[in-house]
Amino acid sequence: MRDLVTYRKLENGLSIQLKEIHTAPLISHWIWYRIGSRNELSGRTGISHWVEHMQFKGTPHFQGGTLDKAISRDGGVWNALTYLDWTAYYETLPADRIDLAIELEADRMINSTFDPAEVESERTVILSEREGSENEPLFRLDESVQQAAFDHHPYRNEVIGSTADLWKIQRDDLYEHYRSHYRPSNAVLAIAGDFDTDEMLERLEKAYGSIPVGPVEQHEIPQEAILPAERRVEVNGPGETAYIKVAYRAPAASDPDFFPFTILDSLLAGPASLNMFGGGGISNKTSRLYRALVERELAANIGGGMQATIDPGLYAITATVRAHKTSEAVLEGLDAELQRMRQEPPPEAEIARAAKQARALFAYSSENITNQAFWLGYAEMFAHYDWFVQYVQRLEQVTAEDVLRVAQKYLKDSSRVVGFYRPTGEPIPDDEGFEDLGGEG
């Protein structure tokens, strides 16, 4: 798989990765920028996500509101995502229409206008998005747990930003953020599909090669030690359902511990996909926590997972408390399973099943051309494409002793956050929704 990828770097620093796939006459074009909420300063949380929205508002060449029609007319799809470590934009189009995506992304890398009226309009949209999220009990709980889990690192902040900062940020702040980070040397261009590599390189050189290098703003990211003691947070809010969330510091994606931790997660809560763009699902009914909490009717649902991040992030387990049961009873059952995981290595057959499930889920998440292009760039945000190529092999090398070791190292009661959502019984406000023209972020 590695040999099928062509790597190039233009003189202005733009990294290019191309993968020919001739199974269908489609091409998926992704541009990834190394800018996300991890890079935001205090007082400007949510600015990366807001900039992503503004990238859909047009340039002098591509007027806002016309691109949806143009891409739909050509039979394509497009969108964007903002996350902790990155922002990404993609278009998947018929192979003979891919020039539209190339021209569009090269243009808005440098020529987005950030019209003041559009900025204010989008402020309303994003504040509405934030308000809608706040109506969701799990958003409230997630945000409280994140903030308790990190004292200084920007991973403590929601990608959408705080309400106070969203009111404070102005047009010039957004434009400065855009011009400081949307540079060729801060980007990875990943394309997969039905094309000839040499011809595609010529197209990309023509479209992107003349974009000036420019400096990329850099900030020191504060690193944090493991929590010195367990922290507990309680969130009261509308609804009738209680939730509990337990979060531990997780290894960075580039850490060798990430792979045994992935098997550990699969054993505890069931297999989870790292592909944020989508790609199938596998039941978690064989997982230990499902059997211990759901089958024993303590919890109505259980889930766990972590994301591949540059710095150590969070591994979180979330349980929906069954009616007439208590959150404390769910936590007691969860802790019993965690203690068992820390005390004895799991049977090899259980590890083999977890690896098999992960392998299947991995296949689902990389089966189409859009997902192939996704992985080309995504892995570069925290490691290298080789990380993706070797993923399944690394999981299959995990031993029972590896799982026991990471359980003992990371799943400590003394360095975790336990969050409780206590419902008040009041109705959850209706979210009437809005038209989000700024992508999926």
pLDDT band at residue 279 under the 50/70/90 scheme: low
Q: How many CB atoms lie within 10 A of CB 291?
A: 14
pLDDT band at residue 67 under the 50/70/90 scheme: confident
List, as one string, the DSSP characters of 163-210: HHHHHH--HHHHHHHHHHH--GGGEEEEEEESS-HHHHHHHHHHHHTT
Q: What is the mean pLDDT of residues 87-108?
A: 97
Whole-number pLDDT of residue 375? 93
Q: What is the mean pLDDT of residues 146-171?
A: 97
Q: Which of 386-390, 429-433, 435-439 has the highest mean pLDDT?
A: 386-390
C-alpha angle with apex 170: 67 to 218, nearest 5 degrees? 85
* Residue 248: both structure tokens together: 């531990």
Whole-number pLDDT of residue 3? 53
**Distance (Å, rounded) from C-alpha 17 to C-alpha 410?**
35
| CATH code of the domain made up of 231-423 | 3.30.830.10
pLDDT band at residue 271 under the 50/70/90 scheme: confident
Q: Is residue 363 predicted with pLDDT exceeding 80? A: no
Q: Is residue 69 predicted with pLDDT exceeding 90? A: no
Q: Is residue 176 predicted with pLDDT exceeding 90? A: yes
Q: What is the mean pLDDT of residues 146-173?
A: 97
Q: What DSSP state is assigned to residue 231?
A: E
Q: Residue ranges per domain, the chain?
A: 2-208, 231-423
Query: Under CATH, which architecture does the 2-208 domain have?
Result: 2-Layer Sandwich (3.30)
Q: Is residue 440 predicted with pLDDT exceeding 50? A: no
pLDDT band at residue 249 under the 50/70/90 scheme: very high
Whole-number pLDDT of residue 328? 97
Q: Is residue 165 predicted with pLDDT exceeding 90? A: yes
Which residues does residue 32 pair with via DSSP β-bridges, in sequence order?
88, 188
Tens digits of per-residue pLDDT, 34-65? Answer: 999 999 999 999 999 999 999 999 999 998 77
Q: Is residue 277 predicted with pLDDT exceeding 70? A: no
Q: What is the mean pLDDT of residues 413-440?
A: 74
Nearest to 41 by CA among 178, 216, 144, 177: 177
Q: What DSSP state is assigned to residue 288?
A: H
The one-letter amino acid code at 367 reads E
**Distance (Å, rounded) from C-alpha 88 to C-alpha 51?**
12
Whole-number pLDDT of residue 274? 79
Q: What is the mean pLDDT of residues 147-165?
A: 97
Whole-number pLDDT of residue 340? 96
Whole-number pLDDT of residue 1? 42
Q: Is residue 129 predicted with pLDDT exceeding 70? A: yes
Nearest to 155 by CA among 167, 171, 143: 143
**Higher-pLDDT residue of 64, 227:** 227
Tens digits of per-residue pLDDT, 345-360? Answer: 999 999 998 888 888 8
**Higher-pLDDT residue of 215, 244:** 244
Whole-number pLDDT of residue 280? 55
Give the phi and the psi of residue 9 in degrees, each rounded to 5.
-130, 125
Q: What's the first-to-final CA gap in the chain, in angstroms?
A: 30
Q: What DSSP element (H or E) covers 301?
A: strand 299-305
Q: Is residue 190 predicted with pLDDT exceeding 60? A: yes
Of the given ranges (98-107, 134-143, 386-395), which has the lowest mean pLDDT? 386-395
Q: Is residue 219 predicted with pLDDT exceeding 60? A: yes
Whole-number pLDDT of residue 438? 45
**Higher-pLDDT residue of 276, 126:** 126
Q: Is residue 385 predicted with pLDDT exceeding 70? A: yes
406 vs 119, 257, 269, 427, CA distance in Å? 46, 7, 16, 42
Q: What is the mean pLDDT of residues 193-212?
A: 97
pLDDT band at residue 436 under the 50/70/90 scheme: very low
